[in-house]
Structure 1
Amino acid sequence: MTWYRRTFCAAIFGVFLAVSGVHAGDWPRWRGPADTGSVDGGDYPDSLSEKTLIWQTPLPGKGCSTPIIVGKTLCVTSPFEGRDAVQAFDLAGKQLWQTVFDQEDAGKHRNGSGSNASPVSDGSAIWVYFKSGTLAAVDLAGKVLWQTNIVERFGKDTLYWDHGTSPVLTSTHVVLARMHNGESWLAAFDKRTGEMSWKTDRNFQTPQEGDHGYATPLVVMRDGRETILTWGAEHLTMHDAGSGKLLWTCGNFNPDGEKLWPSISTPVIVDGTAVIAFGRNDRGKPRLHGIRLEGSGDVTASAHAWLRTDVGTFVPSAAVWNQKVYLVRDGGEVECLEPATGKTVWKGAYPKHRTNFYSSPVIAGGRFYAPREDGVVFVANVAGDEFRVLSQHDLQEPVIGSPIPLDGRIYLRGERHLFCFGVKQR
C-alpha cells in the first residue's frame, strides 16, 4: 500500500501529494513518510529518561544523520574506523549488519560530521550519501547494489559548513541537490543502477553565502506527475522529476541583499502553502515566508502569501501536525502558526541556555520532542492548542539528528549511542 499525505492547491496548480513508496508503519526518510515530522495518535512517553529507556546501544563513530526505519530494521550512518559506513539494527537494538565504504571526510564543524545526510528507502533498498561524495545503494541485507562518488565526478563543494542535504527518492530515481558558491545543480540517478539520468543547473546570483544550501528537496505530485520542490540560493523551484526541467520558480526572499544567509531549514507544505524559514534567527533577523504553490513559470510576483520578520529558525526544520506548523527556534522559543496566514496560535519557550537547538523537532501523540545540541531533550504537551513543558533530561552526549516517533517509541541517535524510549508496561 502506498502512503500519501494529501494537500490541496488552487485549481490552476492542481493537486499535490507527498510521495512515498513504503508502508505506513515505516519512517523511510528523515522527516517521515509525509515529510511532516509527526505522527497521529499513539501512546508516547512524557520524558526521554532512564524511566522510559527501553535500550541503548553504542555507535562506532560520530554522525549527525537521522536514522530511518523500514519494516523491522533501523538504519543509520556512522563512520567505522575512519571509513563511511551504514549500520542496521533490529528494533530491540541488536546490530544486524554493517556495510563499510571508502575513506570518511570528517566534519569541520563541532555539530557536523561526514555522516550528516540521512539514509532514504522505498522498502526495497536503502540509499546513503556521505560528505566524502560516496553515494550508494544497498539491499535490505546490506549488500552493495551500486556505488559512485559525487566529489570525484563533480568536485568538492565550497560550503562554509558540512553538507546537510539528504537524498530523496522518486519512483525511478534517487535525487541529490548541490547548492554552493560554484556550479550548483539538481541531479537524478537511476535507483537500480546508479546511472545518472539527468542533471540540471540551479545557479542564482546571491549575496555572500546566500547560494549555500543545506535543505533537503521534497518530492510532490503535481497534476498526476512527480515533481521536485527545491529550496536554496534564495529561490524556491519546482522541477519535473523525469527530466529535471524547471516548471516553476519563486524568488525575492532577500530583497535587502543581506549577506551570510544560507538556506538550512527544509520547507514544509500544508494545504498548498509552503512555509519557509530563512534569514538569521540566531542573529536577530528571522524571516518566515508563506508561499502559495500556484501557477507556472516565474511566480515571484504572485506567490508570496505572507511574511513574518519576528519569527523563524536558522537550523531546525518545522513540523506539521493538525494542519498547523510548529517551530522550535534556535534559542528554544517554540511557536505554533497557521500556515495559510502565518498568524501565531500560541507561543512557548524552553529554559534559556548558552547552547542552541540544531535537531528538528517531532510531534507524536500530542507530545513535542525537541533535543538541544548538548543532549538535553525536552518533551512538551502541544495537544489542545497549548504548550506545557513536561520534562527535560540530559543524555550526556550531543544530539543533532532528529528523533523518530514510531509505534509508541522514540528512537534517537546521539553522538555516541542509539537510544530507544517508550512507555513501559507496568
Structure 2
Amino acid sequence: MKALLATVTLSLLIASTTFAGNWPGWRGPTSNGVAEGSGYPVSWGSDKNILWEVDFPGVSGSTPVIWGDDLFLTTTSEGKNRVLCLNKNTGKKKWETDFGTERAGKHKKGSGSSPSPATDDQFVFAYFKSGDLACLNKEGKILWQKNLQKEYGEDTLWWDLGTSPVLTNKLVVIACMQSDNSYLVAFDKATGKEVWKQDRNLDAPEEANQSYSTPVVVNQDGKELIYVLGADHVTAHDAGSGKELWRAGGLNPTQHKYFRSISSPVVSDGFLIAPYARGGSVTGIELGGKGDVTKSHVAWTNEAKGDFSDVPTPAAINGRFYICADKGEVLCFDVKTGKKIWGDRLPRSRHKFSASPILADGHIYVTREDGTTFVLDQGDQFKVVSENPLEGFALATPVFSDGKIYLKMTDKLYCIGKK
C-alpha cells in the first residue's frame, strides 16, 4: 500500500511540473506571449533562485532565443554586430560570431541590436540596425548574409530599427515599414535566395508610416499566414507568395501625424489584437475575408488616454488577452468583445515598461525597465503575487524554458530557477 501511495504521489508530482524547452522567437513558441510547461519560479532576488548570471559586451535590447540547450543572443562589440551562443544550463559561452559593421542607436533605449534573433532546428537568423541579416548554423558558421539596406534602399526610420525576423516553414521574413519604400521580403532559409518581395506602401501621414513592430506567422486551417501591423493598417499575407489577402484600416481615424507603431499584434481565438495610437487604442479584428475588411471584420475598438500599451506587446490565451501598459497598468480583456475583465496599476515608479508580458503556468510576468519583475495571477481579478528586483536595465522580454526564466538586461543575462 505504501509503495502504491508513493507511486501515486510521484505521478502527481511529475504531472504538476512539465517542462518545454524551445523558445524560437521573441514572443515564444506560439508567438502570442505564452510559455509552455510549468514549474516556473514566482519569486527571486539577488540571493534567491539565481542559478547563474553572465555579462556580455555592448548594449543590447534584443530578446534571446533558445533551441535545445543552446541560447542565442545578439549584441554589438568593437564596432561589429555579434551573435553569441551560450549553454542555457550553465551560461558558458559556446561561440561568438561577428559580421557587418555596427550602426549605433539614436534613442536612449536604442542600440544597433534591438531586433531579436530567430531560430529553428537547423539555423539561427540575426538582423541588425545596420541592415545586416545573416543565417548561421548551430556551430556559429555563417551560411549566408546580406545587407537589406544596400539591396533595397536605406533605412528612413526616425528612430532605431526594432522589427525582428520571423520564420515560416521554409522562409525567413523581414518587414520594413518606413517613410517610403516599405516592403516585406522573404528569403529561403537554407540559401538566402529571395523568394518574394511585397511592397507595403499605405496611405498614412508622416511618421505614422513608420513601424517598429514584428509580424506574426500563424498556421490557419493548414495554411501559413503572416499578419503585419503598421502605417495605420493591419494586413494579412500568404506566407508562400507574400500576396496581400486582406487589410483592415481605421486605426488612425483623425490622421494623426505621429502614430508610429512599436507594439506588435497578437493572434488568438480567431481574432487579431492591434495596439495602436501610442497606447491610445486597442482594436480587435476578426480573422478572414478578402480585400478591405475594415467595415466587415473590425469587431471592436477600445480607446484610452495612453493607458494601453505603446511599446509592450499583449499576450493572449483562452479567450483573454493581457496588456502591460508602459506606465504599469496591467489589464485583462475578452478577446472577442474587447470587454475589460479587470485592470489596475502596479506600484508607481519613474521607470517604465518596455518588455512584453509573458503568460506562464497561470501567472503573468511583467518586467520593468529597472529590472524588477512583477508576477500576477491570471485569474478573474488583479492580484500581484510577487515583486522581484534585480540589478540592470531591462528592455528584453523574459524567456521561459524547462522550468527556468532567462531575464536579459542590456549588458547581463540572468538564469532564474527553483533551487
Amino acid across the alignment from 1:217: P
Q: How far, CA to CA, are the matches of 1:170 and 1:301 in structure 2? A: 30
**Could you tell me which of 61, 66, 81 is aligned with 2:63?**
66
Report Cα offsets for 1:147-202 as digits up to 9, x if no partner: 11112112221112111110011122111000010110011111111111111110
Residues 345-374 of structure 1: per-residue CA shift (max 9 Å, x gap): 111221112221111111212222211122
Instruction: Describe how 1:145-156 pairs up with structure 2 within 5 A.
Output: 145-156=143-154
Distance 1:208 1:84 in 2: 30
In the alignment, is the contact (CA less than 8 A) between 2:269 and 2:318 conserved in 1? no
Query: How big is the shift at 1:40?
Result: 4.8
How far the C-alpha of 1:122 sits from its partner, in A, is: 1.7
Please tell me the residue identity of whatever aligns with 1:394: P
> AA paired with 2:53?
Q
Residue by residue, what CA displacement relative to the aligned partner does 1:104-139 show, whole Å, maximum 9, x if unpaired? 111111111111111111211111100011100000
- Where do residues 365-380 of structure 1 align in structure 2 (5 Å cutoff)? 365-380=361-376
- The TM-score with structure 2 as length reference comes to 0.92
Q: 2:158 maps to which residue?
A: 160
2:20, 2:401 within 8 Å by CA — same for their partners in 1?
no
Pair 1:177-2:175 in alignment: yes
Partner Cα distance (1:294, 1:174) in 2: 24
DSSP 3-state at the match of 1:78: strand
Q: Distance in 1 between matches of 2:252 and 2:143?
A: 43
Paired residue for 1:343? 339
**Structure 1 runs, 4 residues or longer, greater than 4 Å off:** none
Task: Report 1:8-407 matches (<5 A).
Answer: 25-50=21-46, 51-91=48-88, 92-281=90-279, 286-310=280-304, 311-380=307-376, 382-407=377-402
Take 1:250 and 1:388, find their aligned partners in 2: how far apart are those partners? Answer: 35
Task: Name the SS of the counterpart of 1:280 in structure 2.
Answer: helix
Higher helix share: 2
Q: Paired residue for 1:415?
A: 410
* C-alpha displacement of 1:334: 0.4
Q: Deviations over 1:183-223 (max 9, x none)?
A: 10011111111111111110012122111011111112344
Distance change >3 Å, CA 154–CA 48, structure 1 → 2: farther
Q: State whether residues 32 and 38 of structure 1, in contact with CA within 8 Å, keep that contact through their aligned partners in structure 2.
A: yes
Distance 2:31 2:361 in 1: 17
User: Which shows bigger deviation, 370-379 or 326-335?
Assistant: 370-379
Give the alignment's Cα RMSD to 1 decimal: 1.5
**Aligned residue type for 1:120:** A
Q: Deviations over 1:295-329 (max 9, x none)?
A: 11111111110010125211000011333101110
* More displaced 10-residue stretch of structure 1: 230-239 or 45-54: 45-54
CA distance in 1, matches of 2:337, 2:207: 29
- C-alpha distance in 2 between matches for 1:245 and 1:41: 36
Q: Does the 8 Å contact 1:44/1:367 carry over to 2?
A: no
Percent identity at matched positions?
45
Give the TM-score taking structure 1 as reference length.
0.90
Larger gyration radius, structure 1 or structure 2: 2
**Matches of 1:82 and 1:385 in 2, distance apart?**
49
* CA distance, structure 2, for counterparts of residue 238 and residue 38 of structure 1: 22
- Partner of 2:150, secondary structure, is helix
- The letter of the residue matching 2:366 is A
The alignment covers a number of residue pairs equal to: 397
Supply the AA of the counterpart residue of 2:380.
D
